[in-house]
Structure 1
Amino acid sequence: MDEDGEDVRGDLRWGTVAGLVRSAAQRYAGREAVVDGRVRIDYAQLGERVERAAAACLAAGVEPGDRVAVWAPNSLEWIVSALGAVSAGAVLVPLNTRFKGAEAAYVLGRSRARLLFVTGTFLGTSYVASLRRAASEGPGSGPLPGLPHLEQVVVLADDAPESFRTWKEFLAGGDGVPAGAVRERADSVRPDSPSDIVFTSGTTGSPKGAVITHAQTLRCYDVWSELAGLREGDRYLIVNPFFHTFGYKAGIIACLMRGATMVPQPVFDVDTVLANIAAERISVLPGPPTLHQSLLDHPQRRHHDLSALRLVVTGAAVVPLRLVERLRGELGIATVLTAYGLSEASGIVTMCRRGDPAEVVSATSGRAIPGTEIAILDPDGRPLPAGRAGEIAVRGYHVMQGYFEDPEETAGAIRAGGWLHTGDVGFTDENGNLRITDRIKDMFIVGGFNAYPAEIEQLLGLHPDIADVAVVGIPDPRLGEVGKAYAVRRPGSTLTADDLIAWSRREMANYKVPRAVEFVTELPRNASGKILKRTLRAR
């Protein structure tokens, strides 16, 4: 509702993410905006910090449309640097904190990012050192020669290596930029301009960047906030990583819209979650089912006051009916919802509604969000009736503009009539509730992180002792699913499963690492040479 009580779509009300930040700073000025450790700031202060970061981006030469990347865990600095860059007209490229240096360098190079905000040391790893190893050689003259388009690297810490800048130094660089110039730049950004590029891997194994606009982001998460029932004064523990749409948009953007307090948590640790819920009177806790299961099963749960919790939104995996019942019954959480989305559709396609019975919440991902359509298609692209499984296709305002500078992959994903072919398999019931049953793309989900077999197979294939390999998802009681590799050794090799897993941990993000390896003499294939993954799953 606007000030006159009229319904106004989010994308029209705020126009851009910068408009949303400015509106929140005014509307919720004295309300607590972010609690990060001992730092507490209100919405007016958050608005000032974002404007200062935007000024620093202008001073650093960031132009509208430039890509600016953030490679850091959930923190106040992530929020300020990302929103500052977007307010300066840049297109945000969030990087997965589980990436190794080479994986991060690929996305930075592919997006031609001009500026990178990076954490110092996180989980015992120096991201700066990791990136330097991966991009130390190349034609560039900037801080990382292997990334010639990357002109500046800002370390979100008090110290930075030579040729990099600290966060404090970066911000100081914008002190001479007039406030009017920052406002003028923000106002020059159009609602249909790209606001972010979220890189996701497909069946080819090469990460592709889904381009989403300001208007799409605002409209989608205004709808999400309404369906979820997020409200002013809520206190939202954001454990979902900011590099993921669920963390950034259903987290930061949604909180800005409703005046909720953001409490970022950099890593999932159930003890910390429990402590935060009790100390900060957390009322909203979205996340994968594994998060909520860990919470319920923790032996010390009853020693923490969790009574403020009232809203849980989950998804990304099968949600047991028992989990929904326990959240509602044991914790007294009034609203437990499930949803389904993908980066190519702005992160949201379907969602349950408040008041849906537990059976619907657990067995389905809800119904299409307003203003969008879902079709279930047979292999020839013809629509199927309710109850019949087929490929899920989506059409609506939330479908991406395309993959960044990749018209061929875009044409393969968005086909005739503007339908996005998701590669997921499912069916709808008579009420339009969607149930996901399989994945054409073979993707599996490890503790809420999407893992793509083709990408993992490509990486495993680099091992000198591997002749052939296939990866499938297998059930795991803690993470939902994990990878299992079926591998063919090269002649004479004595490679063991432990050897390959240890090698994988050095070469790829942890969630991609196969938890099991089985060596076979050959992989099952059909007449055309395609690996029969169903046969492998059946084993």
Structure 2
Amino acid sequence: MHNDDQNLFSALRAALPEDLSGIAVETDQGATYSWRDLDRATAMIANLLQSLELPEGARIAVQVEKSVEALMLYLATLRAGYVFLPLNTAYQSAEIEYFIANAEPAVVVCSPKNFGWVSKIAFQAGTRNVFTLGEDRSGTLLDRAVHHGDVHTPAVRGRDDLAAILYTSGTTGRSKGAMLTHGNLLSNAQVLKDYWGWQPGDVLIHALPIFHVHGLFVALHGALINGSPMLWLNKFDPQRVIAWMPRATVFMGVPTLYTRMLAEPALTREAARHMRLFISGSAPLLIETFNAWRERTGHTILERYGMSETVMLTSNPYRPEEGRRGGTVGFPLPGVGLRVAGDDGRELPAGEIGGIQVRGPNVFKGYWRMPEKTAEEFTADGWFKTGDVGKVDERGYVTIVGRSKDLIISGGYNVYPAEIEGYINEMPGVAESALVGVPHPDFGEVGVAVVVPKPGARLDGEAIVAALKAQLANFKIPKRCFVVDDLPRNTMGKVQKNLLRDQHKALFG
């Protein structure tokens, strides 16, 4: 523990405007919050959390719909010195049961409509405190927080102290909790403030979910550490974003959001004239989208690359004259080391494709309670193996070509085939299955399941998809399911997913 305070909240709080009466957040419902509102509300929630006498390093698990109050809960968790654990709102009971058992949170906050089943899981797992928080300011969290004082001294935290745990699905088996420290998050926010040219007067349109690195850390910290107001949407609405552009300067989105805006006639050069920067990430941006956006708006989308374990790693340059290149994720950020290694672990020369390895102050502390897994994912000389496959060209631009383990990225969310195959294989009459990603015009890619029945069993692809819907988040559900006699294999007996992908690649195009 350093004696110098590295609490991320304190750094963000110090960056706020001197006059706290200005508007910090305006929502698509017309509600406004001042900087003082953020300061007071986070103090009250932090005081509530501290009144619960939680153990040191307690996890606060949160599965709620997006709202400004949910943002306040995140900031209050940092302020009080606890560990924030955001959960995708799409997760169902089997998933939530695993996360609560694995993380052992002291507090769980869920949507009011889910209180019945979530509280049952939480109480059975030994969680003492379960609160609710609705997107309309309803719920027991705020009811209780109102009775607490609106002044709070932020907890002192060192740069190596845990700030958040983000669950990232394993390519084999269960999700792993990536442990991010105050130093990881603060160093990344400071680097990006400079790299992306944040300036006085900037206004961010915040249209991303806040259970994911992109919306929670990159967008939110970006605005806060610059003291910039946000125009806030609880749910993405392409027409609203376009209507807001004349009042804003920065927008961050996943590729799906850009394709949806391109479908709106209102998107013109005039509409985007006041904007300074459009950033894309979380999934590969198709070159068609990159080109179409430039033609329609006159703006060149800046693509960058990061992951749950590392926050942001690379970015195309901010100054357009330095060249934002479509199809690349730009250069390693200042302070980030990036190298491409062959199967033997040796660094490869420019232009050759291999495994991407990184190091830097942004790289996580390890996986929660998985020391063996953590050790496996780092090289002997301390570089993190991202699991992404790519190359670096002569000029230093990084291009990602794929995921070493057949990851599917659907609408910006990671889908790990092994997890879904596990559920399908447990169904009656199923001998085995394979899930592959195929191109999709709206989501980038979607999963297609190929299933082999046991001898004598009759399987129905649509029934398999319906059964999965009851168990898993919607973004993980295969769009189609085919029943076949056998799966293609190589001489080693490995399923040849590349052949299955080729076979189905034109399904949605």
Paired position in structure 2 for 1:48:
40
Distance apart, 1:17 and its partner CA: 1.7
**C-alpha distance in structure 1 between counterparts of 2:292 and 2:491, whole Å:** 48
Paired position in structure 1 for 2:507:
none
Contact 1:25 1:44 in 2 (8 A): no
Q: 1:332 aligns with which of 274, 298, 319?
A: 298
Contact 1:228 1:337 in 2 (8 A): no
SS, match of residue 417 in structure 1: coil
Q: Is the deviation greater in 211-220 or in 520-529?
A: 520-529
Contact 1:158 1:166 in 2 (8 A): no
Matches within 5 A, 1:61-210: 61-120=53-112, 126-132=113-119, 135-136=120-121, 144-148=122-126, 150-157=127-134, 166-175=140-149, 179=151, 182-183=152-153, 186-210=154-178
Q: Does 1:283 align with 2:249?
A: yes
SS, match of residue 231 in structure 2: strand
Closer/same/farther in 2, CA of residues 525 and 158 from structure 1, 3 Å limit: closer
Contact 2:316 2:323 in 1 (8 A): no
Closer/same/farther in 2, CA of residues 233 and 462 from structure 1, 3 Å limit: farther
Contact 2:304 2:330 in 1 (8 A): yes
Distance apart, 1:520 and its partner CA: 1.6
Deviations 1:505-535 (A, max 9, x none): 2211111000111212222334444322222
Paired position in structure 1 for 2:20:
29
Residue type of the partner of 2:396?
A: G
* Structure number with higher relative contact order (C-alpha < 8 Å, ≥ 6 residues apart): 2
Distance apart, 1:292 and its partner CA: 1.1
Paired position in structure 1 for 2:7:
16
Paired position in structure 2 for 1:365:
329
Residue type of the partner of 2:176?
A: K
Paired position in structure 2 for 1:436:
400
Matches within 5 A, 1:366-445: 366-445=330-409
**C-alpha distance in structure 2 between counterparts of 1:415 and 1:502, whole Å:** 42
**C-alpha distance in structure 2 between counterparts of 1:456 and 1:302, whole Å:** 41
Deviations 1:396-421 (A, max 9, x none): 12111000010011011112111111
Deviations 1:238-258 (A, max 9, x none): 222111011111121111100
Distance apart, 1:445 and its partner CA: 0.9
Give the RMSD, CA atoms, in angstroms.
2.6
Deviations 1:347-389 (A, max 9, x none): 2111111234697531210110111111111111111100110
**C-alpha distance in structure 2 between counterparts of 1:34 and 1:403, whole Å:** 34
SS, match of residue 34 in structure 1: strand
Q: 1:350 aligns with which of 309, 314, 331?
A: 314
Q: 2:225 aligns with which of 238, 257, 274?
A: 257
Paired position in structure 2 for 1:309:
275
**C-alpha distance in structure 1 between counterparts of 2:68 and 2:191, whole Å:** 25
Closer/same/farther in 2, CA of residues 436 and 213 from structure 1, 3 Å limit: same
Gaps of 5+ in 1: 1-10, 121-125, 137-143
Matches within 5 A, 1:230-249: 230-249=198-217
Contact 1:339 1:348 in 2 (8 A): yes
Deviations 1:426-479 (A, max 9, x none): 111001111111211211111111111111112222322322111111000111
Distance apart, 1:224 and its partner CA: 1.6
Contact 2:302 2:324 in 1 (8 A): no
Contact 1:444 1:473 in 2 (8 A): yes
Matches within 5 A, 1:387-536: 387-536=351-500
**TM-score, normalised by the number of residues in structure 2:** 0.92
* Percentage of pairs with the same residue: 31
Residue type of the partner of 1:239?
A: A
Q: 1:221 aligns with which of 175, 189, 206?
A: 189
**C-alpha distance in structure 1 between counterparts of 2:447 and 2:145, whole Å:** 42
**TM-score, normalised by the number of residues in structure 1:** 0.87
Closer/same/farther in 2, CA of residues 108 and 116 from structure 1, 3 Å limit: same
**C-alpha distance in structure 2 between counterparts of 1:479 and 1:388, whole Å:** 29
Residue type of the partner of 1:170?
A: R
Deviations 1:281-324 (A, max 9, x none): 23221111221121122144469944332211112333234433
Q: Is the deviation greater in 51-60 or in 520-529?
A: 520-529
Paired position in structure 2 for 1:8:
none
**C-alpha distance in structure 1 between counterparts of 2:168 and 2:136, whole Å:** 32
Closer/same/farther in 2, CA of residues 293 and 158 from structure 1, 3 Å limit: closer
Contact 2:238 2:260 in 1 (8 A): yes
Distance apart, 1:48 and its partner CA: 1.4
Distance apart, 1:159 and its partner CA: 11
Q: Does 1:341 align with 2:306?
A: yes
Distance apart, 1:31 and its partner CA: 3.2
Deviations 1:133-158 (A, max 9, x none): xx45xxxxxxx43321x111111149
Q: Is the deviation greater in 82-91 or in 303-312?
A: 303-312
Closer/same/farther in 2, CA of residues 374 and 28 from structure 1, 3 Å limit: farther
Distance apart, 1:28 and its partner CA: 5.5
**C-alpha distance in structure 2 between counterparts of 1:459 and 1:369, whole Å:** 39
Q: Is the deviation greater in 477-486 or in 315-324?
A: 315-324
**C-alpha distance in structure 1 between counterparts of 2:258 and 2:136, whole Å:** 37
Paired position in structure 2 for 1:270:
238
Closer/same/farther in 2, CA of residues 326 and 250 from structure 1, 3 Å limit: same
Closer/same/farther in 2, CA of residues 61 and 75 from structure 1, 3 Å limit: same
**C-alpha distance in structure 2 between counterparts of 1:380 and 1:28, whole Å:** 57
SS, match of residue 217 in structure 1: helix
**C-alpha distance in structure 1 between counterparts of 2:192 and 2:498, whole Å:** 35
Residue type of the partner of 2:215?
A: G
Residue type of the partner of 2:327?
A: A
Contact 2:268 2:297 in 1 (8 A): no
**C-alpha distance in structure 1 between counterparts of 2:135 and 2:390, whole Å:** 49
Closer/same/farther in 2, CA of residues 84 and 317 from structure 1, 3 Å limit: closer
Residue type of the partner of 1:18?
A: F
Contact 1:202 1:441 in 2 (8 A): no
**C-alpha distance in structure 2 between counterparts of 1:34 and 1:470, whole Å:** 45
**C-alpha distance in structure 2 between counterparts of 1:256 and 1:444, whole Å:** 32
Residue type of the partner of 1:30?
A: S
SS, match of residue 411 in structure 1: helix
